[in-house]
């Protein structure tokens, strides 16, 4: 509109200038015409000119984030709508049935009226088909979304009065100090309280808490019940952070895994007690195992969906046999659970055929050779973050994941010694200076963050560099364990120099 006004004004000024002979009118007409022409050229450039440079900058930002393509949600929605409409169009009833049923006296209309009626019928039929197709596609999309939500939906036990009542009854039956239903999700060493009952008043009954050491490990997820002694594991007392104040005088902690439909999280029952609570007794273990099984069914776990169910009598007899053997083994159960993350008695793939060899001997051997050669030595312990979730999928899956992790570390450190230090945990002995070890650690940590499949979720890496403070192999290995625990808790590699 502005361009037309300016053009008209320029013409008018030119006519006046020609009629009056005033030179300044010619200049004004020329300036006005120039402005109008500039606006026309600018509008044409906006329509047909090159795209703004912001598109290139958006592509550069997208490449920097590692994204190959970004599509708006509307495109996918339109594609789904068109696919649904095309698939449902053959099933929908013809919308023009009503028009076909309505009698229309052809003799009462002229030829022009017949043409108008035919045109109106055709437009109404097309509109009816469009509306019916949109309705069918909308209904199909809503049904698909509803089915997806129902398939992914799992009941959240937090705040469930049935869970609270069950946990309370179980605590009184066990005569325990505290019984809690805990959930470990994606974050390692982070536990969510889904239900808790305790004789203590200063206790956290909801929310989440973190622990310096795992409350449940990959090996414990395969056992019905695992009883751990706080006397044998001093750091375990620090992990009971659901107590608001200092934990009371406790002696044992019992853990029972729970089968749950949500495979991405680990559900387990935890009970603690003092020396008067018979947690290590066979009857108490069986009661806790049966409670975990019942709670799993209460939370919606269906064993028939995963395969044939195990009769309860067979499970009880198997549980009784396992607990009887555990009772006869005495304190060996607590010793096995103490260093789960770094198992000193698990053989590496190379020496497994020759017989088991303690990890402490390998550490001592590497230290002696490094001292003899006056060479630097660093021990990097690498632990798969999703170890507990992988362990729930069976021993075959654990072995495949260990093989993948072992091959990855061998490829990353081809000239270094790689040994198995526990379930889904490996140690790499570096004969290199701390700067080179630090660079290797950061490279492996970043690379594993991009891993997929069984190695998805990354790793925790704790490194210790040998020095005069390490008088024995146990000192060297213990500091490596502390670095790994700190890395597991913080999510970043930890190097102790």
Q: Same domain for 192 and 300? A: yes
What CATH number does the domain containing 388 carry?
A: 3.30.70.270
Mean pLDDT of 44-67: 55
What CATH number does the domain containing 282 carry?
A: 3.30.450.40
Q: Same domain for 274 and 186? A: yes
- Residue 487 covered by a domain: yes
Range of the domain at 173: 161-337
- Chain position carrying tokens 């992790």: 405
Q: Is the pLDDT of residue 215 over 70?
A: yes
- Residue 183 covered by a domain: yes
Mean pLDDT of 198-211: 89
Of 183 and 106, more confident: 183
Q: Per-residue pLDDT tens for 301-326?
A: 554 443 333 333 343 444 444 444 44
Q: Is the pLDDT of residue 486 over 60?
A: yes
- Residue 244 covered by a domain: yes
The pair of structure tokens assigned to 453 is 């499949």
Q: Same domain for 375 and 427? A: yes
Mean pLDDT of 340-353: 41
Q: Same domain for 272 and 408? A: no
Q: Given 337, 370, 398, which residue is the final one in a domain?
A: 337
Q: Per-residue pLDDT tens for 357-389?
A: 688 889 999 999 999 889 999 999 999 999 888
Q: Same domain for 187 and 328? A: yes
- Residue 384 covered by a domain: yes
- Residue 452 covered by a domain: yes
Q: Same domain for 395 and 439? A: yes
Q: Which residues of 171-185 are buried (b: 16+ CB within 10 A; e: fewer)?
A: beebebbbbbbbbbe
Q: Same domain for 461 and 491? A: yes
Cβ 92 vs Cβ 135: under 8 Å: no
Question: What are the φ and ψ backbone dihedral angles of 479, each rounded to 5 degrees?
Answer: -70, -35
Count up the domains in the chain and report the number.
3
Q: Which of 376, 394, 396, 387 is nearest to 343 (CA)?
A: 387
- The mean pLDDT value of the chain amounts to 73
Question: What are the φ and ψ backbone dihedral angles of 420, each rounded to 5 degrees?
Answer: -80, 125
- Residue 95 covered by a domain: no
DSSP string, 256-307: EEE--S-TTSEEEEEEEE-TTS-TTSHHHHHHHHHHHHHHHHHTT--GGGTS
Of 290 and 53, more confident: 290
- Which of 27-41, 245-259, 427-441, 457-471 bottoms out in mean pLDDT, i.e. has the lowest? 27-41
157 pLDDT band (50/70/90 cuts)? Answer: low
Q: Same domain for 194 and 257? A: yes
- Chain position carrying tokens 């492996």: 444
Q: Given 307, 337, 367, which residue is the final one in a domain?
A: 337
Q: Same domain for 415 and 274? A: no
């Amino acid at each position: 509109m502005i361009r037309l006004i300016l053009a008209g004004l320029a013409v008018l000024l030119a006519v006046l200038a020609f009629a009056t002979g005033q030179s300044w009118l010619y200049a004004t007409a020329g300036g006005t015409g120039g402005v109008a022409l500039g606006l026309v050229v600018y509008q044409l450039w906006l329509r047909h000119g090159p795209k703004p440079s912001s598109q290139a900058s958006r592509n550069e930002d997208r490449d920097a984030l590692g994204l190959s393509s970004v599509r708006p949600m509307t495109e996918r929605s339109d594609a789904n709508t068109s696919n649904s409409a095309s698939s449902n169009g053959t099933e929908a009833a013809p919308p023009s049935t009503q028009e076909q049923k309505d009698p229309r006296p052809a003799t009462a209309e002229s030829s022009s009226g017949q043409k108008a009626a035919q045109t109106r019928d055709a437009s109404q039929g097309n509109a009816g088909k469009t509306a019916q197709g949109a309705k069918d596609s909308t209904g199909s999309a809503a049904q698909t979304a509803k089915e997806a939500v129902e398939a992914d939906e799992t009941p959240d036990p937090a705040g469930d009065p049935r869970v609270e009542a069950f946990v309370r009854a179980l605590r009184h039956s066990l005569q325990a100090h505290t019984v809690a239903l805990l959930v470990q999700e994606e974050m390692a060493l982070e536990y969510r309280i889904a239900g808790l009952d305790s004789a203590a008043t200063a206790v956290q009954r909801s929310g989440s808490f973190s622990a310096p050491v795992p409350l449940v490990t990959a090996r414990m997820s395969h056992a019905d019940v695992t009883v751990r002694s706080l006397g044998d594991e001093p750091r375990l007392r620090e992990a009971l952070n659901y107590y608001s104040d200092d934990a009371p005088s406790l002696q044992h902690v019992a853990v029972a895994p729970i089968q749950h439909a949500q495979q991405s999280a680990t559900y387990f029952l935890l009970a603690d007690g003092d020396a008067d609570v018979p947690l290590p007794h066979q009857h108490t273990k069986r009661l806790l195992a049966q409670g975990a099984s019942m709670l799993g069914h209460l939370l919606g776990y269906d064993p028939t969906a995963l395969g044939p169910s195990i009769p309860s009598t067979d499970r009880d007899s198997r549980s009784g046999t396992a607990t009887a053997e555990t009772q006869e083994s005495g304190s060996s159960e607590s010793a096995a659970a103490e260093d789960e993350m770094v198992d000193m008695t698990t053989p590496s793939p190379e020496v497994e055929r020759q017989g088991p060899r303690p990890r402490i001997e390998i550490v001592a051997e590497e230290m002696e050779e490094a001292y003899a050669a006056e060479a630097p030595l660093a021990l990097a312990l690498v632990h798969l973050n999703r170890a507990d979730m992988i362990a729930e999928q069976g021993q075959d899956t654990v072995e495949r994941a260990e093989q993948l992790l072992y091959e990855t570390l061998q490829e990353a450190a081809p000239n270094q010694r790689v040994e198995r230090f526990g379930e889904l945990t490996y140690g790499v002995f570096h004969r290199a200076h701390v700067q080179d070890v630090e660079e290797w650690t950061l490279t492996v940590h970043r690379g594993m963050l991009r891993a997929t499949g069984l190695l998805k979720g990354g790793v925790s890496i704790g490194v210790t560099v040998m020095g005069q403070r390490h008088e024995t192999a146990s000192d060297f290995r213990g500091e490596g364990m502390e670095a790994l625990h700190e890395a597991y808790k913080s999510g970043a590699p930890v190097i102790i120099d």
